[in-house]
Structure formats: C-alpha cells, structure tokens
Amino acid sequence: MDTAILALEDGSVFEGRAFGASGERQGEVVFNTSLAGYQEIFTDPSYAGQIVVLTNPQIGNYGTNPADDEARHPFIEGLVTREFAAEPSNWRSDLGANEYLTKHGIPVAADIDTRALVRRLRSKGALRGIVSTVPGADPQDLVARAKMVPSMAGLDLATRVSTRDRYAWDEIVTAASPSELIPTPAKPQFNVVAFDFGIKRNILRCLAHVGCRLTVVPAGTSAEDVLAMKPDGVFLSNGPGDPEPLAYQAQQVRTMLGRVPIFGICLGHQILGLALGGKTYKLKFGHRGGNHPVLNKLTNKVEITVQNHGFAVDPDSLDANKVDLTHWNLNDQTLEGLRHREAPAFCVQYHPEAAPGPHDSQYLFDDFAKLIKEWKKS
C-alpha cells in the first residue's frame, strides 16, 4: 500500500496509508465530529477548499449511494481519517467509499493519528495543508508549499460552487429506511426563490416538504430579477468561504428586506447579518459536526444542532434596536441566530436540515412557511 502524507503550514507532517485518487490536493485543514453521514459531508458544497479530518475512527464501512449525495459531486479537497474501510457492508451501498472518492479525484490519507491532529488544530486553529498520495512525495517540499496555500479569509467560494443556471426543484423528504417516519408533506402553495451559495439538496427537500415551489437561482442574481419573479419568499443558502467578499449579495438582500419574507441558513445567515449592517469574523477552528448545543432564546430550549462553518456574525456589530439575537452556541457563546424586529426576515448559523445529524431544529422550515402565510395575509 502506498504512503499518504498530510503536510501542514506549521511544519507538522502526518504519514499514513493512501486510498482514493492518486494525487495532491490543498486547502484549509478542518475537522468534523459527526459519528455518521460521511457521504453527505463529502458532497456538502460548504466544504469547498477544505481538507476534512473525520474524528469518527471508522469511515467507509457502509459505502455510498446516490440518494445520500448532497450535491452533484464531492466538494472536499481531501479526506483524512483513522481507519478507512475499503470494502463496504450495507444493503444501501452501490459503490464503496474508496471507489467513489477515486472516481471523483479525491485523495485519502488513512491510518492517521486523528486525535493528535485534531488537538493540534484546536490549539493552533485551522491550518493550511496539502494531502498527497503521490509515491515518493517529499514531506518538506509539501510543507513549504502548504505555507503558500491561499488563506480561507477573503476567499469568495460561493460564486464558484453556485449553479450557473436557474432550475426548479420539487423533490420532498423521503424515508431512508422502512422504519423511518416522515411527516405528511404540505401541498405546494408558496413560490420561493432560493439563492444557491452552495445549497444542499436536503435543504431543498425540507423547503419543498413544507409547501414551497422552489426556483433555485445563481449566487449573483440581482434583487430586481428575483422580485420580478413575484416570490412569496426568498431563501439564502449555506455555502463555503468568507462571507465578507459577498458585498454584492448582501446589497441584494438589503434591497429585498421588508418586501418579501427571507430565511437564511449558515452562509445565508452571515449574508443577512451583513445586509443588516453587521460584520463577520473568522473562528479559530470553526464548528463542524452533529452535536453542537444551541440555546433558542425564544423558547429557552436547547437544541442539538448540525454545524459547518468557519466564520460567524459579530453580535456587537448589529443594531439592537432592529435585530433580536435569538440563538446562541453553548460551547463558545457565538451567535447562532437572529430575527429582524420589523421586516419578515430571520436566519440561523446552523443546519436544521441535518443530513447528517439530529432533527431538533427542523421546525424552522415550518416557521418559514408560517411567516410566508402571515405576510400574504397582511
């Protein structure tokens, strides 16, 4: 078995076994603490530009299948794991994880001490790195080149991963197994325009499930073009990269405020924050996983949430006379949700659609549908 190398900008080198595609990929090295759902992580566009370390010690054991793809192809730059199962064992598997990642050109570094690696990332913050499965690669050369990898700060990746063409979506949430219970879907009744900054398919399914007829538009679509479609609501999606370069998108959202109900998730939350005059900042190592506790100040209940972000909205930068701060992360007290006091607009930093993860926050899609109903009556 060939050797795989993960080289970090701080000079650290981790060697393991190579799986997946033969080659080199670069990016910001981040970690995810989810226990399951690796295929959804592979294909989440929010991971563009990132090498993902999965802390769950065994990855690949249940293979892959088309139903679990969250986008048209994987967006991770590379995968780092403790144990990688090249041969799957699951009734839903169509293709092994090794063949799947090889097919899409993603290198895998396995047999890595992920505990030591994550401790380094937590203490030093997310680091730039290169993962190589090329035979004979020079570790010190990889370190030198890792130092030249572009920083995630200042990168507009949302427009890179966004759809180029407008399209309709009507697929709803379906059961993954015979034992899973799914609420009865609502009849399509709301015309909703969804901005694709890196949108996940399960977000679209959840929106369709509560009665939204969806038209997905590119990240650079103007407010004028959206409003000309006479939507009942506008959705701002998740996505990768730094929100700060998305000044044009924030301006379009600002133009639509008060004219149509708006709901944002993840990067969409950050863009709405910018549209409201707020600022964003880069987190030390980000939040990525399916076990993050968030306090909902509106209900005083704690929700276990799915998270995937490296930036956050600065709560002190928002006008307290116009914005209610509704959700807070209980691990580090960062802002996780906000709601405009007058305009029909709200957003959360985390992922209520899960895929993968807990479903504690799926009520937010119902809240969006209720907001649209109330707005249409007013």
CATH number of the CATH domain containing 244: 3.40.50.880
175 shares a domain with 116: no
pLDDT at 12: 98
Q: Which of 24, 70, 336, 353 is an active site residue?
A: 353
Is residue 197 within 8 Å of residue 236, measured between CB atoms?
A: yes
Q: Which of 28, 77, 212, 266 is an active site residue?
A: 266
Of the candidates 6, 4, 11, the one whose C-alpha atom is nearest the C-alpha of residue 143 is 11
pLDDT at 183: 86
Of the candidates 195, 203, 246, the one whose C-alpha atom is nearest the C-alpha of residue 223 is 195
Question: Which pair of structure tokens corresponds to residue 99?
Answer: 């063949």
135-145: per-residue pLDDT in tens? 999 999 999 99
118 shares a domain with 139: yes
Q: Which of 209, 269, 309, 351 is an active site residue?
A: 351
d(CA 211, CA 189): 5
141 shares a domain with 272: no
184 shares a domain with 94: no
250 shares a domain with 114: no
Q: How many domains does the chain have?
A: 2
Q: How far is CA 230 from the centre of its chain?
A: 28
**88 backbone dihedrals φ, ψ, rounded to 5°:** -85, 160
Low-confidence ranges of the chain (pLDDT < 70): none
Residue 259 lies in a domain: yes
Residues 6+ apart with CB under 8 A from 35: 56, 290
d(CA 303, CA 134): 43
332 shares a domain with 207: yes
Report the alpha-carbon angle 368-206-225, nearest 5.
Answer: 65
319 shares a domain with 186: yes
Question: Which pair of structure tokens corresponds to residue 202?
Answer: 């399960």
Of 146, 175, 202, which residue is a domain's last?
Answer: 146
366 shares a domain with 331: yes
Q: What is the mean pLDDT of the chain?
A: 96
Residue 216 lies in a domain: yes
224 shares a domain with 137: no
Dihedral, CA atoms, 41, 45, 48, 51, nearest 10 degrees? Answer: 0
**In terms of residue numbers, what domain contains 217?**
158-377
Of the candidates 143, 117, 108, the one whose C-alpha atom is nearest the C-alpha of residue 3 is 108
Reported residue count of the chain is 378
Residue 322 lies in a domain: yes
300-327: per-residue pLDDT in tens? 999 999 999 999 999 999 999 999 999 9
pLDDT at 179: 77
Rounded to two decimals, what is the model's pTM? 0.97
pLDDT at 169: 97
Residues 6+ apart with CB under 8 A from 4: 15, 16, 17, 18, 19, 107, 108, 109, 110, 112, 131, 132, 133
Residue 55 lies in a domain: yes
The CATH code of the domain that includes 104 is 3.50.30.20
Active site residue 347: no
188-226: per-residue pLDDT in tens? 999 999 999 999 999 999 999 999 999 999 999 999 999
Residue 342 lies in a domain: yes
pLDDT at 180: 79
Residue 151 lies in a domain: no
247 shares a domain with 103: no
Active site residue 266: yes
Residue 70 lies in a domain: yes
192 shares a domain with 54: no
169 shares a domain with 137: no
pLDDT at 264: 98
